[in-house]
Structure 1
Amino acid sequence: MEYKTEEKAIQIISRVFVDDFEDVLGKRFSIPIVLLPDEESKNADQWISRYINQKLNIEIQGKEVQLNFIGKRYEDDRIYLYIEAENIPDFNSISVENLILTDLFEEQKNLVHFKKNKELKSMVLTKSKSKHTFTY
């Protein structure tokens, strides 16, 4: 995750294994979903967007930030998810909650890197400790 001061935007890239993501989407929405470039399920982007908005949350000054799923890219056995939040004024602290894959994998660990003004901070989030506030 990175805050781009000039664009007043938070840009996010989330990297997950394709097979795990297919499993979690299928179980979460009770439909089979295939995430392969040549065989991708119809409406896959809708399901991905819906899941991201349920499992990834950002708050600035107590207000939830609207996240927009803008696309994806497949690489080997991984899928890169591109997410953006626009019109974000400068801030001193930001809370990030990341529950991606935790509803399928109890021991899932999500490593979150947040960069603002060239300062990088990192935190490991789990199902039991899913939220962290980064202060700059």
Structure 2
Amino acid sequence: MKNIFVLISLIGCSIGLFSFFHPIHLSVSEVNFNQETKSIEISSKVFIDDLEEGVQLIGGPELHLFTEKEVTNSEEWINKYFEENFKIKINDKEKAFLWVGKETDQNRDIQAVWVYLEITGVKKVKELTIENSLLYDVHADQRNMLHLKCNGTKKSWLFDLKKSIETIHW
């Protein structure tokens, strides 16, 4: 009986550790062309610990996101990381992002962060190229799912180390 209790305890601890270290390395991004505001709206959900490690790999500090120790310029570092690893070309011209913000859901998902970016002044999209290499420097098995809404088209892609660029024409 004692052995069964020990075995159940070990299994429970193992499951807890696996959920804490999230063995799935996946980000999810949404890219939407808002014709009313003439902007591309970008939302990306990534694991906090992976993003923090990615920032450190480009020379940034330990961010301590959503804690009392969070560095004051954490948003600048996250933006820089996205600029290097998430690129958008519109009509064959690379576009720069504007930082909108970041948030996490403290009640439901404290392991992930939503990052919001925007590209303004987009009158018309004839061709869109997206390069998504987020967190490839952190995990070799990283996958990045992307959902696009633009010009009445809905499209989804799954990016990985072998394929990190997609182009769509209208």
Which of the numbers 74, 99, 113 marks the counterpart of 1:79? 113
After superposition, the Cα gap between the structure-2 partners of 1:106 and 1:96, relative to the gap in structure 1 and judged at 3 Å, is: same
Which of the numbers 46, 53, 58 marks the counterpart of 2:88? 58
Equivalent in the alignment of 1:3: 33
The two structures have a TM-score, normalised by structure 2, of: 0.75
Which of the numbers 87, 94, 99 marks the counterpart of 2:128? 94
Are 1:12 and 1:83, in contact at CA under 8 Å, matched by a contact in 2? yes
Counterpart CA distance in 1 for 2:101 and 2:67 is 13
Counterpart CA distance in 1 for 2:125 and 2:151 is 11
Are 1:121 and 1:134, in contact at CA under 8 Å, matched by a contact in 2? no
Show CA shifts across 1:50-78 (max 9, x none): 11111111112221011112110012211
Counterpart CA distance in 1 for 2:67 and 2:99 is 18
Counterpart CA distance in 2 for 1:73 and 1:120 is 25
One-letter amino acid of the structure 2 residue matched with residue 135 of structure 1: H
Show CA shifts across 1:21-73 (max 9, x none): 11111222153221124331221011011111111111122210111121100
Counterpart CA distance in 1 for 2:89 and 2:60 is 29
One-letter amino acid of the structure 1 residue matched with residue 153 of structure 2: E
Q: Which runs of 4+ in 1 moved over 4 A?
A: none
The runs of 5 or more residues in structure 1 that have no matched partner are: none
The two structures have a TM-score, normalised by structure 1, of: 0.92
State, as a whole percentage, how many aligned pairs show the same letter: 28
The runs of 5 or more residues in structure 2 that have no matched partner are: 1-30
Are 2:125 and 2:151, in contact at CA under 8 Å, matched by a contact in 1? no
Question: What secondary structure does 2:156 align onto?
Answer: strand
Counterpart CA distance in 1 for 2:113 and 2:69 is 14
* Higher share in helix: 2
Answer with 1 or 2: which has the greater Rg: 2
Counterpart CA distance in 1 for 2:136 and 2:35 is 31
Which of the numbers 3, 6, 12 marks the counterpart of 2:42? 12
Over the aligned positions, Cα root-mean-square deviation in angstroms equals 1.4
Question: What secondary structure does 1:41 align onto?
Answer: coil
Cα offset for 1:92? 2.3
